[in-house]
Structure 1
Amino acid sequence: MTERRTVLGLEAADRLLQNSRTRHAALLEKMHEPNRWFTGPWLCRTYQAECQRTRDMIAEAIISRHLLETITEIFRYPIKQESFRRLLSAESLASVPKALTEGPTLNLLAESSAPRPLVNGVSPEVIELLQDWNVPPQVFASLRKMVPERQLKAAKLMIALKRVSFHYAQLLATLTPASQLVDPARPRKKFVGVTADGLAIMEAEFDLLNDEFLFCASLRGTWALELIAARIYLDRLMENARVVRHLARDFPEQLARFQTILDNPAGQEALPSQPVKTGPRRTHFVF
């Protein structure tokens, strides 16, 4: 009896998963866009607000990257010195984190997959990405105006920005270059107060900004882990009396900058233009 209940439970779970996977595919058959389009003023306001929000998120994402670049730039002077490298080896500090010598990771692994048939004009990859989100059917109506590659980019943006909504999807479709539309010859919607040249500028800026955001979003976790490794290694350096003496004698400026970095508590790093919350200043004694 227990085994039968287990089997029935597994079958119910499998049906639930299948329903989740096919939910959005079923919605595609009902998708349509509302007759009411954006107005010119609404488009401009929304565009400016979303651009600023994206810039803010980029600035937050690159804090770890910028700090890593700073640490790498400071560290490259001492590490060039043969006597310093010998000292690190003697003190069991020769295993330097890669990010400290080469800087933060800046290369993304290329994603490649064979093209798959569209489902009512929408990429299957997009449907899979959005399957765990409550997506209004009108979102798919906006997405299918774009070529599959653009659809995938739009879906990633909506998820990363937590903007899985019809208004944001329509904004993405409106600011999609004609070359990335399914029907590039179709006349574009005209907006009061927005010239064709102005719309082209908005398209280009929005595209560049979104590319930068997706790049930062994809590497943000990697940069955070690399920064943790770098800080742990710096902590070990600054707790070693012989290393501190060597830095104080040959690289006093670098020593001071290392101490400033470590005085800033982990997780409270900020860009140079932002206020920095500092903790109690650490003193590294030179014996």
Structure 2
Amino acid sequence: MIRDSSQHPHDVDRGFEDDCVTIAIEAILPLRTLGKSAKSSRKYRQILASIVEIGLVEPPVVARNPDRSATWLLLDGHMRIEVLKDQGVQEVECLVSTDDEAFTYNRQVSRLAPVQEHKMIRKAIERGVPEEKIAAALALNLSSIRRKVHLLDGVCEEAVAILKDKPCTAAVFEALRKMKTMRQIETAELLVNANNYSVAYVNAILAGTPQSQLLESSKPKKVKGITPEAMARMEQELARLQEGIASIQDTYGQDHLHLTVIKGYVGRLLGNARVVRYLAQNHPEFFGEFKTITEITPVETNSPD
């Protein structure tokens, strides 16, 4: 019986078929070729170690071949399939996608952020998984696992929430631990607003943090290669930057709308040959500025994954 979708306006298309399918690896067609250095990469070693230690955790994603042959299109899991081939595995259980666009999986997949990785490791340890087994599965040494376990020690929950899906390095959290709670939150917001999570940037913020906002406020602040006078200037500049960002955030939406409307209007003006000729002959300085406005590229905002 075919169901009339018009009678069920809230129905949504399913992304996957109901059941996984066991497929011969030789019948799976990769949609891209792995680079020559893929097998020497850290990611390959991690996947290999994980499969050897605990088996395949995340099944590859395939789609039925539109040519109705007995082959399948590999949308996600190229490295996993390569590891299985090297291990002599003949078959693998796969998720079957109803969409054959590799774009969905290879371009929009969210990689595990450090905060999420920390929580995953903590949860595994709480369930009784030995640190040694986790280290082997992730192809890391024990000291790395222990650092990841204690990654968020001394960092307030608000700052963690802001950075939970961001690609922060361990250095970011090391810097945050030296700050008081409110400064941690301000720093996390600065990182997100600038979309910059580099060691250099977070260290610059730390250097520009007033002594009173540091955890050890009685201990003189020292940053290698930066004089006290330079640090004082950085504190002033950083304070002005924060004020500027706050004022921009208050009006960003409205300003962006105005700019979009203006760009559209000016674009229509420059689409008129008579207007272009008049401006070029009588007001070339305006003509140049108008062209610049029409060439502005909209800024893409980062949405949560």
TM-score for the superposition, normalised by structure 2: 0.39
Query: Which structure has greater helix proportion?
Result: 1
TM-score for the superposition, normalised by structure 1: 0.41
Query: Which structure has greater strand proportion?
Result: 2
